[in-house]
Structure 1
Amino acid sequence: MLSFLLLLFPKYIKVLENNTIHDYYSDPTKKTDRYIDIGLIDTNGNLDVIEAIVFRLPTSELSGSIMQAEKYLFHLSKWGVKGEKKLTTKYANDLPPGMKIRISNPKAIIIVGRDQIGGANMTDSQLLDFEIIKRKYANMMDIITYDDLLRRLNNTIIALGS
């Protein structure tokens, strides 16, 4: 159902939906299940995640989304080789022959609200604030808007049509 993401993010070859990872850190006395709605496998088998949020920018929910994505990345990294084996086995029939899923410093893509706030374009100050936040986290995640995705899709369709 989410295969259109492969068109928007061409470095990926497979979309993984609804994956459970285990959190042994929030409460060390028990295992807590966490759920990654969307995972992406790149052409080398590396796993990244998408966190899609439905709010407008900029809001306090953005920091919560960033924290959530950081936790996903943390738990994935801690899962390590055991997680790689489990995911590779689970998706073996959907991957190219011989490909193994790797959890090697995964990145997140956070897809947030619209470019507009209250029906108006963001001010220069708001755009600068948003750009600063995006650049601050660029080493571990990409933060983009739904409007960015729509522009990307439109430009891809135009490029493929010519």
Structure 2
Amino acid sequence: ELIEAELGKYQLLREMISGWLASSASYSEKDWQRLILKVVLLLLPKYVAVLENVQIIDAYSAPGQKKKRFIDVCLIDAGGNLDVVEVKKPFDDALLSKSLYRGNSIPSKELSGAIMQAEKYLFHLSKWGVDGEAELTKRHAKQLPPAMQIRITNPKALLLLGRDMRHSGAPAFSEQQKFDLEVIKRKYANMMDILTYDDLLRRLDNIIASLSQRRAALA
């Protein structure tokens, strides 16, 4: 019964996201953030809380001054650890530049910008340290499970942007481009997980296939 319930949940999530992608042009970036936030705790069950518009301190951009920065979305896992989420629109050409560098595909301006933005957030969070943990816990206590303390322990980022499949179902990239994109993803794997919307659908497909096999084995 538990497997059946989980299977139904992930099938519904996949149908919802596929439906959103089918009419993606009608949604703004803020719309996409709202849509993903509705389901992110179901998609990523290790997390237990979503924090929006998270204010952090930047003490490095201007020496001697402290600036306020705002992260659109942070997730808190069951241990209280904080991670950063960046949700962008599913543009078809948001990942790789159309020009090559010595025969290699390189990140697009949008992907490079999202990576840099996430890296800065992670940097400022790590430098904020214990004071930041106390401040964020106090500020977002109502959104956390009772008695939970936020921890800034080697935070990571999740970037969700772009597509690697066309609306027709055809691949958006050649085999060489796919390889180069994977190299780019793995370069940053120690600090962030870079996902396309099609990566997300494939992950859901694999979860659904695994649950279906387990259900059949118990039948």
Same fold (TM over 0.5): yes
Distance 1:3 1:118, change over 3 A: closer
Q: Distance in 2 between matches of 1:24 and 1:32?
A: 6
Contact 1:18 1:35 in 2 (8 A): yes
Contact 1:53 1:113 in 2 (8 A): yes
- 1:89 positional shift: 1.2
Larger Rg computed on CA atoms:
2
Tell me what 2:111 maps to: 62
Distance 1:128 1:117, change over 3 A: farther
Q: So what's the TM-score if we normalise by structure 2?
A: 0.66
Q: Let me know the Cα RMSD of the aligned residues.
A: 2.2
Contact 1:134 1:143 in 2 (8 A): yes
Tell me what 2:188 maps to: 137
Tell me what 2:198 maps to: 147
Q: How does 1:1-162 map to 2 (within 5 A)?
A: 2-54=37-89, 55=91, 56-58=94-96, 59-116=108-165, 120-121=170-171, 122-153=173-204, 159=211
Q: What SS does the corresponding residue of 1:116 show, helix, strand or coil? A: coil
Q: Distance in 2 between matches of 1:117 and 1:154?
A: 18
- 1:10 positional shift: 1.4
- 1:156 positional shift: 5.2
- 1:34 positional shift: 1.4
Identity %: 60
Q: Distance in 2 between matches of 1:125 and 1:118?
A: 21
Q: Distance in 1 between matches of 2:161 and 2:124?
A: 22
Contact 1:108 1:142 in 2 (8 A): yes
Q: Any unmatched runs of 5+ in structure 2?
A: 1-33, 97-107
Q: Distance in 2 between matches of 1:50 and 1:11?
A: 14
Which AA in structure 1 matches 2:126? Answer: S
- 1:155 positional shift: 5.5
Q: Any unmatched runs of 5+ in structure 1?
A: none
Aligned length: 161
Contact 1:7 1:153 in 2 (8 A): no
Which AA in structure 2 matches 1:62? Answer: L
- Higher strand content, 1 or 2: 1
